[in-house]
Structure 1
Amino acid sequence: MSRDRCIGIFEETVSKLSCYSACLLALTWFSVEVVLPLQRWLLPSLSPYAIMVYLPFGLIVVVSYLESWKAFVYFLPGAIFVHHVYVDPVFSIFECVSVILVEYNLPILVFVVLDWVLVCDRQSTIESTRSWRILCLGGLLSATGVSIIVHSIERQRIEFDAPSLEVAVQYLIGDFVGFVAFLAFATLCFRLPAKIGRL
């Protein structure tokens, strides 16, 4: 591999790592500092730990779909910082690492399995309408798996007011609604400039 090629790969990695981690931090801040207080005011009966529009999950799913295993590397700095700032200190380091591994690797695994089951290559179908169906199915499966596993880890340390299944369902809804909201916002951001340019 030539020196220029190595430099190009390094610059691309640093660029994506910075961009994705910064977006993760911004979306987490918005979800925790804006969405969650609003939710507690409007829907006080819901669990205070389940954010019903968890936007970072949408970013994680979309980047996992586009970048496959590299997504975990790109998110790692942001994920560590987010968990250091926002995760309850009652959790051990092992539990925090377990949550990070599940939350940022399960969507990658889901899309790998879907590629195998559906006998398709995401990179070859990324421009087609089929890619949207695969992305949404992967988002739903990822939200289901992450909500169940993460909640099972958290309930070892936190006493929830609601039944365990009810809280897990709230996690699932929050992750999937956050995924749909992020997808809608990202689509609007990409299409709006093109429409404005045609005016």
Structure 2
Amino acid sequence: MTTLEGRPNTALLVVDVQKGVVGEAHERETVVGNIAGLVERARRERVPVVWVQHSDEGLVHGSDDWRIAPELAPDDAEPHVEKRHGDSFEDTTLESVLADLAVGRLVVVGAETDACVRSTIHGAFTRGYDVTLVSDAHTAGDKSQWGAPPPDQVIAHTNLYWSFQTAPGRTAGTVVSKDVDFATAP
């Protein structure tokens, strides 16, 4: 139902699952394991896997912390998008990568829930994509010392409000990893 013409395909979008981003993240092992399982399923089903990798002054391009988590192994043939802003579409090649793949629906996983994941799902939705957030495949670090809720509440809240997003001609929603269906929207 995407509003993007001629874009019938789905892609798995893996946002910032980097060593320095998820190193201390909430339920890291479970979340990264769920993402690894989805990557494997997407590959089996011939669904494109698109990797997004953030860099900034605290996450230096090429550093060990910048690398994708070791449990995940991006294939050299899979698209890789580098970014410097929260929204994975801002000042990147993501839109052209997805257009080349005729993708109009995104299944999104990654980190950080309250930053790059949230920015990216909103950015995709406003650009016309159908967006499914995998509720048990995104995570965040603890920012409660700065007044944020604990990570489990940040994740739960993001899942709650994304379940109720609406816009003309687009779908949004959440689904648990085991119920992801790359062929249909939620």
Normalized against structure 2, the TM-score is what?
0.31
User: Higher relative CO (CA 8 A, sep ≥ 6), structure 1 or 2?
Assistant: 1
Whose Rg is larger? 1
Higher strand share: 2
Higher helix share: 1
Normalized against structure 1, the TM-score is what?
0.30
